[in-house]
Chains A and B, each alone.
Chain A
């Protein structure tokens, strides 16, 4: 059975903060951060936005692009994130209620650092392919935090992308998938702690690169395809440099990666990162285009997918706001104080 994406949608917050603004407060050298991370600014969720609200709006956009889908026929909804609003109470239940998919639906929240979103996509698509459900939804969304003054504060941002999988009216088939993981302690957060910790340079070669390369090489071998066969490649984008370097090491060109490379002005949307890269690619892809997507989640693992865009893509691209339009259209810039208040780094005293 040919299964693929039947609808997709994104949601990005309107607010932004520039690297200079953060560097100014901590006495850091903005130009070297911008150069080192290949990142200029990031999105900031408003105090009333969280993984659930961003996921609902992304899902609404996905449904707008899949007008034949009756929410009652969605058999599974999986939101992957590392900033679910509740420790116990799935984000997915609120999303299911908001889009009218209850009660006959399987819902679970996923967590695997930055690859929780692609995991949700992996499993939802699998259930459709197994013939167990008619449509399934996988969403990657995060409003992750970087500790004040830490390197991650420059990049940790917010966003969501939602994908509906099905076997009819497909806009991009899923031809192959591959998942590759090990126990690699590069980045983690303990229960009850506000901010994650990371192992510095260990997060590079033994973590991000090993798994991204491992998953991508495995899927290329499994599919018998080569980098030049692809119109686009989307990798996890924790900063501007890593996806470009990984792509180069694998044999992909800068041009193949650029369309889905949102991080320089969006920041790292964690579980939303590669899914949002994919949505940006789908916004402009043409029928017949092949897309390579490989996520990365610390801890560690990568999920790789190969998609082929169908004729139908042209009919749906304009049915909801495009990813780059949301990124570029009329953003609202914040100063550090307002940003700290928005991100609950400072709280009004409870007296």
Chain B
């Protein structure tokens, strides 16, 4: 991944910063320039709470190349308590915890490395809350 792009995404990947529409209050993660609900163009920066719940999930058994050492791993669509939905890996779970409705929390984790010599991509993953 280009390092410039990774760096640009730190506020979201590292600090869960979202944009809240100044007119209708809709939360956007990642931030947007125009609200798709009301068309307004001004936003407030807010940090999302780290908690949410699983809406759907799967276990990836045939991973993409940068993740080949990690399979199998679970991925879920998580609805954050503040509203936005994200797609994220789900880790450190035991049997009975991979289900729709499971409460989760985001933790700072390594996502993948760009080979042996490239940069390390950090971001968020969900763990059982």
A and B touching (Cβ–Cβ under 8 A): yes
Chain A residues packing against B (C-beta within 8 Å): 14-15, 46-50, 52-53, 56-57, 60, 85-86, 94, 97-98, 100, 330, 332, 341, 347-348
The 9 closest A-B pairs by CB, nearest first: A56-B108, A48-B109, A98-B14, A48-B110, A14-B92, A53-B108, A53-B109, A348-B69, A97-B10
* A57 engages B15 (CB within 8 Å): no
Give the B interface residue count (CB, 8 A): 18
Which of B15, B70, B94, B110 is within 8 Å of A49, CB to CB?
B110
Q: Is B74 an interface residue (CB 8 A)?
A: no
A332 touches B14 (CB 8 A): no
B91 at the A interface (CB under 8 A) = yes
CB distance from B45 to the nearest CB of A (A): 11
> Nearest CB to that of B125 among chain A residues?
A48
Nearest B residue to A349, CB-CB: B68
B15 touches A48 (CB 8 A): no
Kindly state the separation between the CA atoms of A46 and B108 in the bound complex, as whole angstroms: 12
Contact B92 A46 (CB under 8 A): yes
With A53-B122, A56-B108, A332-B94 known as contacts, the answer to whether A47 contacts B70 (CB < 8 A) is yes
Which residues of A are found within 8 Å of B15, using beta-carbon distances?
97-98, 100
Give min CB distance, A182 to chain B, whole Å.
35
A-side contacts of B10, CB under 8 Å: 97
CB of B20, distance to nearest CB on chain A (Å): 18
With an 8 A cutoff between CB atoms, is B77 at the interface? no
Nearest Cβ on chain A to B90's Cβ, whole angstroms = 11
> Is B107 interfacial (CB 8 A cutoff)?
yes
User: Residue B69 contacts which of A15, A50, A94, A341 (CB distance < 8 angstroms)?
Assistant: A341
A14 partner residues in chain B, CB cutoff 8 A: 92
Q: How far is the CA of A46 from the CA of B15 in the complex (A)?
A: 22
Q: Bound complex: CA of A46 vs CA of B74, how far in Å?
A: 14
User: From residue 99 to 119 of chain B, which have CB atoms closer than 8 A to chain A?
Assistant: 107-111
Query: Which residues on A sit within 8 Å (CB–CB) of B111?
Result: 48
Nearest-CB distance from B15 to chain A (Å)? 6
The residue in A86, A97, A330, A341 that gathers the most chain B C-beta atoms within 10 A of its C-beta is A97
**B14, B107, B108: most-surrounded residue (chain A CB, <10 A):** B108
Q: Are B69 and A53 in contact (CB under 8 A)?
A: no
Could you say which of A60, A85, A341 contacts B120, with CB atoms under 8 Å apart? A85
B40 vs chain A, min Cβ distance (A): 26
Chain A residues whose CB sits within 8 angstroms of the CB of B69 once the complex forms = 47, 341, 347-348
Residues of B within 8 A of A94 (CB): 14, 122
Residues of A contacting B110 in the complex (Cβ-Cβ under 8 angstroms) = 47-50, 52-53
Question: CA separation between A154 and B65, bound complex, in Å?
Answer: 32
Q: Is the CB of B108 within 8 A of A97?
A: no
Contact status B70-A86, CB under 8 Å: no
